[in-house]
Structures are given as structure tokens and as C-alpha cells.
């Protein structure tokens, strides 16, 4: 049993409310209580962070690589350690390594790497997000057209069996997958996200009502909202329960479009980085282009961290600070079913927290605490 510690800051955002001059009491990686700093029991080790914000640690559900190690090209534990390091640098204690449309053996190698990483005690990696290859070629974006295809039940079953307890999300185009495929994935406990899809409005609504959990990177690589054809974007806006991720870098989506989506969707919209890294090997040769990446002159990924996404949501979209924190922590936890232990600061939750500067444009160092 570890000794209890008290973390104090001018502001604590619990995920539900703002508290002034309070402390978070932590023991053995679990939050025991949140209380006024004047009520801290005697003898507890304390750390006072002063003019800072303690908030729930961020969670990134879509990231491909870091520090010139694209996970699909280097499917090993070193790449995962680098992904975790990069995520931590942006306030995300947890991330979901993502592999875009690729050969089956690449997905299998990535599954193997995550299992080994966990066996070795590696932290912060939630599992695998398979983005494709069961998507629509018309909305492939930077994905490799020759590898995109409709799945058979046998192919899906084989991948799910091999990736049991590792694959957490599959992004697919519902219009190219049969109802049997959707039902099979759903029965395995894997979350299904609609993306890289040209589904019509009606097809989209039907898929939301029959197993789709969320939408991958709203607006990007999907049928748009048009006045006579509302598409996947319109269906996402219109459905009362469906959630969607969004890339808040100002390149993938204009900030005004994020603001419009947020007004319509409210708590159903959450942030991801969609971050890639420089790569000169494999199918996806991402090259830096300012604050974004391109491959074959196509926008292929972001240079975001979750903290940068959070800053953009506050500064450029105009979202209140607490709600922007929720978009980076609580809402991703909710979509994955982790919200009983992550995304909030409260009794019984895991003690993964991020320390944010009280002035969001401050040069103060960002750090994780636990």
C-alpha cells in the first residue's frame, strides 16, 4: 500500500464542477476524496501547484505514430512507448494507436505488439483502432485504394478472433458492410465508428439505429450536408444519440464549422488528434507541411497534441474551458465505456490527471500527475 498524497491547485475541474483552493487525495492510483485544502488530514504529503488547473487527464482515441515511428510501419513496443510519450506530452494519459487501411498482416503485427507491450507492463495504450480497410473508395482520403474492399464474414471473424481484447474500435463505411458484419462486430464488444463513408442520410440513420456507436473525424472523408442530400454529416447532426470525433487543428475542419457542429451536437462531440508523424516507408509516407501532414499532396494527418486541440477549442472555437476539457477527457471515456474510472476527478476514479496553466496561453510546462 502506498502512502496517500494531496495535490492542491488554485482551480480543480472535476469534469462536473470548478472548485477553488481544493485538494485531490490520492492513494495507490485511486482518488480517495476531493476536499478543501484546509481540511487535508495531518501528516499527508502535499504538493501545491499554485496558479494552475488540475483536470482529468486527456484521452486520444485516434493517433497513428510519433517521433518518426509510424505504428503501421514499426509495429513494435518501442513505437508504442513513443506514442505514449508523445500523448503524455500533450496531457493525454491514454491513447488509442490507429492503423489506417493496410494489409491484414500489418493489423496482426500491431495486435501482437500491443499484447507484448501490455505483458511488459507498458502504460497508457488502450488498444487498437482499425480505421479501414472496410471503407468506401469514394471517400478514401489518403487511404490506399487498392486495399479497400467489402469484408466477408470470415475475414471479419478472423480479425476479431485474433484481436480479441486488443481491437477496441473499427472505423468502417456502413454502406459497404452487411448487417451481418455489423452484428458480428457489435457482438464482440468492439466499438463501431462510421467513417470514410459515402452513406446517404437514410442509410446513416439506419446504421446508427443498428449498431454504429460513433462517427470518425466529423466532416472529413464523408458524405457532406447538402440541402437536398443531408448525407452522413446531416445524419450525425440530426440523430439524438450518435457521437462524433473531430480534428480541431483548423486545417481538417474550419473552426466555424466546429462551432456549428458543437451548437448542434453539444455533449456528443469529442476531440481527437488524428496525429501522424514523418514517414518515408510503407503505404503512408507522411511529410510535414506546416502544422499538418500530407501524403501525395493529400491532407493525411495532423500535428496536434490533445493539449493543442484543447487550446484551439477554447481560443478559436469559443468553447468554455470546462466543456473543452470534457471534449478531451470525459466524452472519449464515455464513448469507450470507461467513464466509471476515467474522465472525472472524484472518489473511486483513477488518479490520472493533467496540470494545466491557469492562463492557457502561458508558456508554463504541461504535465501529467497521478
What is the mean pLDDT of the segment spanning 94-120? 98
Q: Domain boundaries in the chain?
A: 5-56+345-369, 58-336
Check residue 164 and give its pLDDT.
Answer: 97
pLDDT surpassing 90 at residue 1: no
pLDDT band at 105; cut points 50, 70, 90: very high
Q: How many other C-beta atoms can be found within 10 angstroms of the C-beta atom of residue 267? A: 13
pLDDT (mean) for 38-56: 93
Nearest to 247 by CA among 295, 197, 200, 291: 291
The gap from C-alpha 89 to its chain's centroid, in whole angstroms, comes to 15
Percent of the chain exceeding pLDDT 70 equals 98
Q: Indicate the pLDDT class of residue 365, thresholds 50, 70 and 90.
A: low
**What is the pLDDT, as a whole number, of residue 361?**
59
pLDDT given at position 364: 56
Q: What is the pLDDT of residue 2?
A: 72
- Cell numbers describing residue 144: 490506399
What local confidence, expressed as pLDDT, does residue 34 receive?
Answer: 97
Mean pLDDT calculated for residue range 18-39: 95
Strand order in the sheet with 287-289: 287-289, 292-295, 298-302
Q: Does pLDDT of 316 surpass 80? A: yes
Is-catalytic flag, 16?
A: no
Q: What is the pLDDT of residue 150?
A: 97
Predicted local confidence at residue 297, as pLDDT: 87
Alpha-carbon Rg for the chain, nearest whole angstrom, is: 20
Over the chain, what is the mean pLDDT?
95
pLDDT value for 22: 96
The pLDDT of residue 115 is: 98
- Distance of alpha carbon 42 from alpha carbon 63, whole angstroms: 43
**Residue 359 confidence (pLDDT) above 90:** no
Does domain 58-336 fall into CATH 3.40.50.150?
A: no
- Do residues 190 and 223 lie in contact, with contact meaning Cβ atoms separated by under 8 Å? no
Is residue 296 scored above 90 in pLDDT? no
**pLDDT tens per residue, range 71-89:** 999 999 999 999 999 999 9
User: What pLDDT is attached to residue 360?
Assistant: 59
Superfamily (CATH H level) for 5-56+345-369: Urease, subunit C, domain 1 (2.30.40.10)
Model pTM score: 0.97
- Of these residues, 165, 249, 274, 289, which one is catalytic? 274
Amino acid at each position: 500500500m502506498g502512502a496517500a498524497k494531496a495535490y492542491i491547485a488554485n482551480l480543480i475541474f472535476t469534469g462536473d464542477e470548478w472548485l477553488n483552493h481544493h485538494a485531490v487525495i490520492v492513494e495507490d492510483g485511486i482518488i480517495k476524496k476531493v476536499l478543501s485544502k484546509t481540511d487535508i488530514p495531518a501528516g499527508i504529503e502535499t504538493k501545491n501547484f499554485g496558479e494552475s488547473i488540475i483536470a482529468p487527464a486527456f484521452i486520444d482515441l485516434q493517433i497513428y505514430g510519433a517521433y518518426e515511428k509510424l505504428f503501421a510501419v514499426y509495429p513494435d513496443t518501442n513505437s508504442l512507448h513513443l506514442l505514449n510519450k508523445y500523448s503524455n506530452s500533450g496531457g493525454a494519459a491514454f491513447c488509442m494507436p490507429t492503423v489506417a487501411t493496410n494489409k491484414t498482416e500489418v493489423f496482426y503485427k500491431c495486435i501482437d505488439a500491443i499484447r507484448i507491450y501490455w505483458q511488459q507492463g507498458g502504460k497508457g495504450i488502450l488498444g487498437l483502432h482499425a480505421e479501414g480497410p472496410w471503407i468506401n473508395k469514394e471517400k478514401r482520403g489518403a487511404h490506399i485504394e487498392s486495399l479497400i474492399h467489402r469484408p466477408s464474414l470470415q475475414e471479419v471473424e478472423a480479425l476479431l478472433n485474433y484481436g480479441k481484447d486488443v481491437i477496441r474500435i473499427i472505423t468502417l463505411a456502413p454502406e459497404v458492410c452487411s448487417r451481418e458484419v455489423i452484428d458480428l462486430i457489435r457482438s464482440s464488444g468492439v466499438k463501431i465508428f462510421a467513417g470514410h463513408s459515402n452513406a446517404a442520410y437514410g442509410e446513416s440513420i439506419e446504421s446508427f439505429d443498428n449498431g454504429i456507436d460513433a462517427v470518425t473525424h466529423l466532416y472529413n472523408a464523408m458524405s457532406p450536408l447538402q440541402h437536398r442530400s443531408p448525407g452522413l454529416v446531416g445524419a450525425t447532426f440530426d440523430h439524438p444519440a450518435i457521437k462524433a470525433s473531430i480534428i480541431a487543428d483548423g486545417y481538417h475542419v474550419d473552426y466555424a464549422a466546429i462551432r456549428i457542429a458543437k451548437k448542434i451536437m453539444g455533449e456528443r462531440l469529442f476531440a481527437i488528434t488524428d496525429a501522424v508523424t514523418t514517414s518515408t516507408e510503407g503505404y503512408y509516407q507522411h511529410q510535414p507541411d506546416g502544422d499538418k501532414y500530407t501524403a501525395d499532396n493529400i491532407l493525411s494527418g495532423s500535428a496536434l497534441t490533445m493539449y493543442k486541440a484543447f487550446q484551439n477549442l477554447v481560443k478559436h472555437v469559443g468553447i468554455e474551458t470546462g466543456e473543452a476539457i470534457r471534449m478531451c477527457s470525459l466524452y472519449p471515456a464515455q464513448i469507450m465505456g470507461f467513464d466509471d474510472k476515467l474522465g472525472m476527478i472524484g472518489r473511486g476514479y483513477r488518479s490520472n490527471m493533467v496540470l494545466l496553466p491557469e492562463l492557457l496561453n502561458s508558456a508554463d510546462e504541461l504535465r501529467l500527475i497521478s
